[in-house]
Amino acid sequence: IDVKQVTIVVNFDLPVKQGEEPDYETYLHRIGRTGRFGKKGLAFNMIEVDELPSLMKIQDHF
């Protein structure tokens, strides 16, 4: 989706591969929907406590 008006992306669940490993490519694709065309954007991740290790892996990856 290339929509100039997308300024916020909210992940209600983190993308994961089999075995509960984070899917980094899908994550980047999702958050890449905002902040396009030279504009700023925000991405929010709403997670449960048990998803924190996956979020930390994503943070370390990027």
The pLDDT tens digits for 1-54 are 566 678 899 999 999 998 889 999 999 999 988 877 888 899 999 999 999 999
Q: What is the 3-state secondary structure (H, E, C) of 1-62?
A: CCCCCCCEEEECCCCECHHHCECHHHHHHHHCCCCCCCCCCEEEECCCHHHHHHHHHHHHHC
Quote the number of domains for the chain: 1
Domain that holds residue 56: 8-61
Are 20 and 32 in contact by the 8 Å Cβ rule? The answer is: no
Evaluate whether residue 3 is within a structural domain: no
Evaluate whether residue 24 is within a structural domain: yes
- The pLDDT assigned to 2 comes to 60
| Residue from 24, 28, 26 nearest 57 by CA | 24
- The reply to whether the predicted model has a pTM over 0.85 is no
Evaluate whether residue 12 is within a structural domain: yes
43 beta partners: 9
